[in-house]
Structure 1
Amino acid sequence: METLAMHISNGIINGPVAAVFAAFALAVLAFCVLRARADLDDRLAPMAGLVAAFIFAVQMLNFPILTAGVSGHLLGGALAALLVGPWVGALCVAVVLVVQALVFGDGGVAMLGLNITNMAVLGTAAAYLLIAVLLRVLPRTRAGLGVTAFVSALVSVVVASQGFVVEYALGGTTDLGGNLTGLAGTMAFVHLLIGIGEGLITATTVLTVAKVRPDLVYALRALKSATPPAPSVPVAGGAR
């Protein structure tokens, strides 16, 4: 059951479907590069490097889920979206996935487009959409930021896992047992557990950064510039 880990190995999905998603992932990343140019500055560029390094480290930590052979790891899409934004964040996760596939053999090289689509594109996009909503409706306090980070991380992991289910439905070549509904349920449940761990780590990391340097949290800067100021308790100062 190694395929229940987030990385897709070679041979799980057929070549034509893998090629289509590789082209899709390449197009999305090219768009991210264009949009990221407007965001990158002397503050964001080094932060992007730190985020990529952190994601690389946590993705190397695999842990068992439920039964022997079922494992998972953190994704980092929500963390990247919160700290460096959706465009740079997706690129950070994609770079990590490329290095892992080419250097460490983690995920098949032929499946790289599928893995980038699920983890870098779907995971980061789902996370940032939730972040944009939650930071507008929740109190602008440390508690509000923590809930935003936790929920967006948890949901992004589950969404990314369902990307695999769609890809398997389109071109799966390996018998995973049962039907697509059962596979979707298993993937969702396993990655819900992973998402809880990711949510806790993401919330802790983002709150730590926000306490020391709230200006380094992209989502807070983007929200502040997009909406008029309102009476609130500063995130760096904590709830009162």
Structure 2
Amino acid sequence: MNGVAMHIANGIVNAQVSAVFAVIAGAALAICVWRGRADLDDRLAPMAGLVAAFIFAVQMLNFQVLPGVSGHLLGGTLAVVLVGPWVGALCVSTVLIIQCLLFADGGLTALGLNITNMALIGTAAGYLLVAALLRVLHKTPRGVAITAFIGSVVSVVVASQGFVFEYWLGGTTPLSLTTIAGTMAGAHVLIGIGEGLIAAVTVATVARVRPDLVYALRRFRATTPRPTVAPANIAGGVA
């Protein structure tokens, strides 16, 4: 478990399970491409590129969490707040693929596992929380920052438990699942707090300067009921 948390190396999970999750990840990304086309426009397309570049840059900066365990931004909740769930998953997946192929960050045979955990499970959990929280919080920079923080912490921990499930299916070393689950959850709570702070500052800054570029604010904006005009008033006005 030493090294950068969440990035699974080759051989940690057996080839059969890794292959299954490679197929799952490929199918899910195909759906994201199909659904993401409906969201892409002249405003969202360049924003998606900026989000992917930002996540890539920040993921290169590791911060110490525990002895032998370092963490970095996963980016799932940050991506869904700014560009939505479908495009957000594609942004995170693009970063993971580049890191794997160019920097050997995560094993090639484990790429499907890493995409499933960080790009799919992480963004899905983050989006569900964002959707729920923004229905009760104010749609303001502060509200979206709180949403990004909470969503980041929870989504990072949920994504880490994806690895626990995959290890249960095909782990190659005799380690206690209870120990793995507890260690991963504890470490990723701290990682999630760090990610939450980064995500909160980032989305709050964008929301203050260009709220129209924040997908979550557009998607979950408050709806104002139309005023109703009494028939008597209409008649009076006509008269």
Aligned partner of 2:21: which letter? F
Q: Aligned with 2:217: secondary structure?
A: helix
Aligned partner of 2:171: which letter? G
Aligned partner of 2:63: which letter? F
Aligned partner of 2:150: which letter? V
Question: How far, CA to CA, are the matches of 1:31 and 1:49 in structure 2?
Answer: 19
Question: How far, CA to CA, are the matches of 1:91 and 1:37 in structure 2?
Answer: 11
Aligned partner of 2:170: which letter? G
Structure 1 residue 229, shift from structure 2 partner: 2.5
Q: Report what 1:190 is aligned to.
A: 187
Change (3 A) 1:34 1:220: same
Q: Answer with 166-175 or 109-118: which moved more.
A: 166-175
Question: How far, CA to CA, are the matches of 1:4 and 1:202 in structure 2?
Answer: 19
Mapped contact 1:10–1:110 kept (Cα < 8 A): yes
Q: Aligned with 2:109: secondary structure?
A: helix
Q: Which runs of no fewer than 5 residues in structure 1 stay unpaired?
A: 231-240
Question: How far, CA to CA, are the matches of 1:10 and 1:174 in structure 2?
Answer: 13
Change (3 A) 1:130 1:123: same
> CA offsets per residue over residues 140-164 of structure 1, 9 Å max, x none?
3333222101000111110110000
Q: Answer with 196-205 or 141-150: which moved more.
A: 141-150
Mapped contact 1:162–1:184 kept (Cα < 8 A): yes
Structure 1 residue 215, shift from structure 2 partner: 0.3
Q: Report what 1:12 is aligned to.
A: 12
Q: Aligned with 2:31: secondary structure?
A: helix
Structure ID, larger Rg: 2
Mapped contact 1:11–1:174 kept (Cα < 8 A): no
Aligned partner of 2:181: which letter? A
Name which of 215, 218, 234 aligns with 2:212: 215
Question: How far, CA to CA, are the matches of 1:140 and 1:56 in structure 2?
Answer: 28
Are residues 1:229 and 2:224 paired?
Answer: yes
Q: Which runs of no fewer than 5 residues in structure 2 stay unpaired?
A: 226-239
Structure 1 residue 4, shift from structure 2 partner: 6.3
TM-score (norm 1): 0.91
Question: How far, CA to CA, are the matches of 1:40 and 1:115 in structure 2?
Answer: 25
TM-score (norm 2): 0.91
After superposition, residues 36-47 of structure 1 pair within 5 angstroms as 36-47=36-47
Question: How far, CA to CA, are the matches of 1:73 and 1:192 in structure 2?
Answer: 12
Structure 1 residue 56, shift from structure 2 partner: 0.4
Are residues 1:147 and 2:146 paired?
Answer: yes
Question: How far, CA to CA, are the matches of 2:224 and 2:15 in structure 1?
Answer: 51
**What is the CA RMSD across the aligned residues, in angstroms?**
1.3
Mapped contact 1:4–1:72 kept (Cα < 8 A): yes
Q: Report what 1:98 is aligned to.
A: 97
Mapped contact 1:3–1:9 kept (Cα < 8 A): no
Count of residues paired in the alignment: 225
Aligned partner of 2:40: which letter? L
Structure 1 residue 3, shift from structure 2 partner: 5.9
Mapped contact 1:6–1:73 kept (Cα < 8 A): no
Structure 1 residue 12, shift from structure 2 partner: 0.2
Aligned partner of 2:223: which letter? P
